[in-house]
Amino acid sequence: MLNRRKFLTLSTLTAPLALSGKSLLAEAASAFAGTSADKNAHPPLAPHPIAGPAMASENRPTVATVPIVVSTWDFGQAANAEAWKVLGAGGWSLDAVEAGVKIPEADPNINTVGYGGLPDRDGHVTLDACIMEGNGNCGSVAGMEHIMHAISVARKVMEKTPHVMLVGEGATQFALEQGFQKMNLLTPASEKAWKQWLKTSNYQPVMNIENKFSHNQPPMPGGPGNHDTIGMVAIDTQGRVSGACTTSGMAFKLHGRVGDSPIIGAGLFVDEEVGAATSTGVGEEVMRTVGSHLVVELMRQGRSPQEACEEAVKRIVKKGPERAKTLQVGYLAINRQGEIGAYALQKGFTYSVRTGSIDQVYPAPYYFR
C-alpha cells in the first residue's frame, strides 16, 4: 500500500525523500523538494472537505446509492469504468471488481500493479492479490511470478480449490494448470529503474519510491504519478457486495516480502451484512491492526464508513505515534446503503467513485496536518 505498501523513511507527503548518494532516489528527493503540507499545495480534484483529527463526521462526503463502485487512487477511475460495464448492465459485483482491477494489472505504465510493476531487489516481479464476496468466499495469491492477472488467479483459488491462499511457485504452477499464460512481467522501463537502483543498492525504506519512475508524471501527492495498490469494492443492483485488491508490492523489497494486499482482513474485507473496506499504504502497518476487517467491524457496531475509517487510522497512530508520522496508510469503505468513507494518515491519498451519476476522483481527508 502506499506504495505499497511502500518502503518509507520519511513521508514524501510532508518532507523530501531522505536518502543519501547520487542515485535516482536522490533525484526523487529533489523532485519532491518544496512539496508542502498546506492544503493549497495542489488543487483538489473535486470539492471535498480536507481536515485533520478533529474533522466533524457530519462533513464527510456520502453517496448512499447502489449500484456503486469505489477504488483507491486516481488510476481507479479507469478501473471503475471497466467495472461499471458490468454493474451498469445489472451484473454481479464480483465480476465487476475482477474486470475493473484487471485494467491496471495490464497497464505497463503503472509500476505498482501487475505487468510493469517494479521488481524486488533481486529483479523478480512478484504479485499479490485477493478477491472476496459478501458471503465470505475468498481467494488469494502472494509472491506469484510470471502471471499478469493475479486477481483472476485469486478467483480461481476461491472457486476451484478448498483453500484461501496459494503462494510463490505453488501459485504460479496452479495458474498455469488453470490455463493462464506465462510471461515476463519485467518491462524495459521497470528493468531500467531496477538497474539504476542497483548502482547504490541502498536498502533503506523510502515511501513512494515508485513515483520516481512514473513515466513523465510529476510525483505529486494525489496526482496521477502517485499511485499504489489498487483496492476496489462494489455493490450491485441486487445488493451483493464484493471486493478485490492487487499489487506488485514494495519496489526493491526483500525477495519473499508480502504486504497486506493479499491478506483477507488486512488489505480487503467484505461482509454482505455490513459492507466492505480496502486499504492502501504501508502494508505492515495495516497487517498489525487487521485494518480492513477493523473498519467493517466498526461499521457493524454502528459507525458510518467515514467514522470507521477514521478510527482505524487513529488506531495506527495510537499504537505508534512517532512511527505513524513517517508513513502513509489510507482506508476506503462503503456500507450496504452505498455510503462512502475514506481517511488517511497523510495528505495525498485519493479515491475514485463511480455511480449512475458520478464519475469522479476525490482527495481523502487525513490525520496529520
Active site residues per annotation: 229
Burial label for 171, CB within 10 Å (0-12, 13-18, 19+), is: buried
Is 231 one of the annotated binding-site residues?
A: no
Answer yes or no: are the C-beta atoms of 65 and 353 closer than 8 Å. Answer: no
Is 116 one of the annotated binding-site residues?
A: no
Q: Where are the alpha helices (DSSP H) in 240-344?
A: 283-289, 291-300, 305-319, 321-324
Q: Where are the beta strands (DSSP E) in the chain?
A: 68-72, 127-133, 138-144, 165-167, 230-235, 241-247, 268-271, 275-281, 329-335, 340-344, 350-354, 359-363
Question: How far apart, in Å, do the first and last CA atoms of the chain sit?
Answer: 21
Is 283 one of the annotated binding-site residues?
A: yes
Is 257 one of the annotated binding-site residues?
A: yes
Q: Which grid cell sits at 222?
A: 494525489
Residue 326 and residue 2: Cα distance in Å, rounded?
12
Is 281 one of the annotated binding-site residues?
A: yes
Answer yes or no: are the C-beta atoms of 231 and 259 closer than 8 Å. Answer: no
Answer yes or no: are the C-beta atoms of 329 and 4 closer than 8 Å. Answer: no
> In this structure, which amino acid lies at residue 78?
A
Determine how many CB atoms are found less than 10 A away from the CB of residue 290: 18
Residue 35 and residue 19: Cα distance in Å, rounded?
16
**Residue 86 in 3-state DSSP?**
helix
Answer yes or no: are the C-beta atoms of 130 and 154 closer than 8 Å. Answer: yes
Q: Which grid cell sits at 92?
A: 454481479
Per-state percent for the chain, helix, strand, coil, to nearest 5: 30, 20, 50
Is 90 one of the annotated binding-site residues?
A: no
Residues contacting 267, CB < 8 A, separation 6+: 1, 130, 229, 231, 245, 259, 260, 261, 278, 279, 283, 286, 292
Q: Which grid cell sits at 89?
A: 448492465
Binding residues for substrate, by number, are 257-260, 280-283
Binding residues, by number, are 257-260, 280-283
